[in-house]
Structure 1
Amino acid sequence: MSDIKKMYTTILGDSFPMDMTVSFGDQTLVYRKRTWAIPTEDGGVDERGLRYGENPDQEAALYELVNGNLALANCKFIEPGNSLVSGFTVEDMLQVGKHPGKINLTDVDNGLNIIKYLVDKPAAVILKHNNPCGAAVGTSLADAYNRANRADRIAAFGGAVILSRPVDKATAELMSKNYLEVVCAPDFEDGSLEILSKAKNLRVIRMDGINRLADFEKFRFVDFKSLIDGGIIVQQSAVNSIRSAADLTPATATRKGKEYACERQPTQQELDDMIFGWAVEHGVTSNSVIYVKDGCTTGIGTGEQDRVGVAEIAVHKAYVKYADITCFDKFGIPYADLALEVEQGKRDASDKEAIDAKVKEDRAGLPGSTMISDAFFPFRDGADVGIREGITAILQAGGSMRDYASIEACNEADPQVAMMFTGQRSFKH
């Protein structure tokens, strides 16, 4: 067992070269491997790259684009000099903790991929395994973080937090109550680092580039997917074109000469939640369905093979997480611990029954949520899942042969549900 524990704290090292060149016909991109000279406890310096890849037995390296200006047809890709995750230095690592591994950096990167659409407000995204656990905007940074954390306190354990504003003491105090792997923000105000430094293995990264993150909305990069046979699929990175209510279209369809239209129009808050939710959806592994309310996620379903299944998974997760935070607020312990104590006879069953009744009464906080789907509903059963839980609006891509059925589901709901189309799919694999 001691050897298994040791492998997670050992820097594997890598055999990858310092420079890497990728040629696209007569155009060339040049990359430089990123390493960090981190002081050691004995007063020396340990210069290494990534700790390891996705698993401790996989060598890995991080490369920064340092030269080349790639243009293909009418698409000009991102140029050197715009580094974020691939460019932070030892000086930016305000608390090192441990050399970062691949998952730490891909979590930060996907957090930036989401928060780049939210930088006009105090915003927080907490990620695990490259998917958001919770995301929120708020009246302050502390409010945004607290809402994102409460959306899924369970999964946030060991997560990476990405923030749109400099960390103040109030936000640092909230984060210090969690076990976190990474905190990344544009800066850290006086006194905040002293609070965060109580967690010795926490990686604290200052990333000034967050201040200009909105510029990255229009940047494209080359997205590589390697195959088991050594081949590579290359694609342009995705761009979110849904940035305001004006980018949405009413949900309409035609079938056998009959016109269908969603009868209820969304409120301003529902439109705001649609734009917020689509930004979060841009960073969720497909197939995905999420629920959001008042600028905060209430349920996130990721990576499922069928759309109705992922809609149901998001609901199930919402109930589990709501039970946990309700229990934590009332008794100061996780719901799982409460259930175990009841099972062991250490606590009266009425305590658990009270939490269960509260969750059932509140329907996990889902009523009033907006349902976001990263692609169209092929059948109305996906929309029906959310409608049964009390959602009031749906945002989906549209384009299914059965759009009329989803529109009918919204019109038949009591009360009626609003629906809008994006005309854009948001798959991420």
Structure 2
Amino acid sequence: MGEDLKKMYRTIVGDHFPSELRITFGDQTLIYKKRTWDLEVEPGIVERRGLRYGENPDQEAALYELVAGNLILGEAEFISPGKGLVSNLTEADFIQFGKHPSKTNLTDVDNSLNILKYLMEKPCCIIVKHNNPCGVAYGSSLEEAFTRAFSADRVAAFGGAIALNRPVDKACAEAIAKHYFEVVSAPDYEDGAVEILKRKKDLRIIRVKRMDKLAEYASFPVVEFKSLIDGGLILQVSQKNRIRKKEDLKPAIAVKDGVEYKCLRDPDDRELRDMIFGWAVELGVTSNSVLFVKDERTVAIGTGEQDRVGCTEIAIFKAYRNYSDWLCYTKLGIPYKQLELEVEKGLRPKEQKEEIDEETKKDKAGLINAVMVSDGFLPFRDAADVAIRQGISAILQPGGSVRDWEVIQACNEAYPPVAMMFTGQRAFKH
């Protein structure tokens, strides 16, 4: 029974989708070609197959690349053919197929690129799981960027998809190969790096062409489709990040009963950098979402909640979990949950757990002087108060709530005062 269940995840589901799609917008037609690859299904037997399956093993799926047509709606010109990234992957780009790719593998890579296109100025690593980032970080080297991203949430990163914006060197490959991931994607791989990564036979090693030009994709809009259960469609234009530099931010000012409220403290340069970095990450997170950033690295990411204060509390919980787990892993070489169990069973002294718990509490899980970033406005001051108690130093949010003045008060009542800026842009993603 157990082996049958495992086999389901390796089975490649045949699909009945056509080899070509044509989508007509009035008098304009876009043509898409289905992406397939030659795959050795048995020794000596090669078949042409598309995606392994969809989100689950019992769902057929297909990947299509835009090959003709250039959509123009109003004054907006959409992305033209010949710029494929994930949809353009060939057999040669899969340096190692590992398990045949599924929809989830490729959409994880795609969302990584969606964030990474705004973070190309320095070595950067993004680890995505279930289409949400769990760790994002800059580094002075690619290896450092990976280690910082991985340490941000080692638990969620297990089995995730890594995206890197520089060619992978041997040092970074060695760091990656120590752990279990499903996918690693990069613009290229230096001599010796692939051999190191291939120690993990199921790891998909992908070279993404044109990733060196990824920053250009920030200006290419696409049409996004949402299918309804009745067969209907909702179409929208993809969102563009309007917060790229500090001049794009707006001061947090609100008026209540004729009285103007303004934050007592302006953000410093480090906080501004973290705001810009955090907003780029935020555009790739399922809403409602709140995340914390410090020194251009995510501390914790709260995703997909219905209420903002609850999302903030979950992000804080994850920060404490992640921090104690990383301490445990670096000090004892085991996960924190394993330490808890072994202490409970009397296999380890309780002092080991107490030491990690005390250090995590003292450091407030790395949240001291972190920047809180929210994809939607704060409707009440409760989310700000919860985060301020953890020692954050600044907040970035869209603004526009009737209670903005109340959130500004929360920032000013903190000691020391907390800085806050508005984006004037919401970043919901569903």
Specify the alignment match of 1:122 in structure 2.
123
What amino acid maps onto 1:245 in structure 2? K
SS of alignment partner, residue 154 of structure 2: coil
With 41-50 and 199-208 compared, the bigger mean Cα shift is at 41-50
Aligned partner of 1:178 in structure 2 is 179
CA RMSD, Structure 1 to Structure 2 (Å):
0.8
State the Cα distance separating 1:227 from its structure 2 match.
0.4
Q: Distance in 2 between matches of 1:33 and 1:334?
A: 42
CA deviation profile, 1:173-230 (whole Å, cap 9, x unmatched): 0000110000000000000001000000000000121100001101100100000010
User: Residue by residue, what CA displacement relative to the aligned partner does 1:134-185 show, whole Å, maximum 9, x if unpaired?
Assistant: 0000111111000000000111110000001000001000000110000000
SS at match of 1:134: strand
Which residue identity does 1:276 align to in structure 2?
F
Q: Which amino acid aligns with 2:241?
A: N
The equivalent residue for 2:282 is: 281
Aligned equivalent of 1:138:
139
- 1:372 corresponds to: 373
Deviation for aligned residue 1:293: 0.1
Q: Specify the alignment match of 1:270 in structure 2.
A: 271
For residues 5-404 of structure 1, the aligned pairs below 5 Å read 5-39=6-40, 42-404=43-405
Aligned partners of 2:107 and 2:162: how far apart in 1? Answer: 12
> Runs of 5+ in structure 2 lacking a partner?
none
1:362-401 Cα deviation digits (max 9, x unpaired) = 1101101000000110001111111010000000000000
The alpha carbon displacement at 1:280 in A equals: 0.4
Shift in Å at residue 47 of structure 1? 1.4
Partner of 1:409: 410
SS for the counterpart of 2:156 is coil
Amino acid at match of 1:70: L
Q: Report the TM-score, using the length of structure 2 for normalisation.
A: 0.99
TM superposition shift of 1:41: 5.7
TM-fit CA distance, 1:40 = 5.0
Q: Deviation per CA, 1:219-254, whole angstroms, max 9, x where unpaired?
A: 100100000010000000111010000000110000
CA distance in structure 2 between the aligned counterparts of 1:5 and 1:395, rounded to whole angstroms: 44
Deviation at 1:44, TM superposition (A): 3.2
1:7 to partner: Cα distance: 0.8
**3-state DSSP class of the match of 1:426?**
coil
The whole-number CA distance in structure 2 between the counterparts of 1:120 and 1:329 is 30
CA distance in 1, matches of 2:419, 2:224: 35
> C-alpha distance in 2, partners of 1:283/1:10?
30
Letter of the 1:24 partner, please give it.
F
SS of corresponding position for 1:100: coil
DSSP 3-state at the match of 1:91: helix
Unaligned runs of at least 5 residues, structure 1: none
In structure 1, distance between residues paired with 2:385 and 2:305: 17
Q: Which aligned segments of 4 or more residues in structure 1 are displaced greater than 2 angstroms?
A: 38-41
- What is the Cα deviation at residue 4 of structure 1? 1.3
Q: CA deviation at 1:45?
A: 1.8
Matched residues, number? 429
Q: 1:343: how far off? A: 1.0
CA distance in 1, matches of 2:34, 2:209: 21
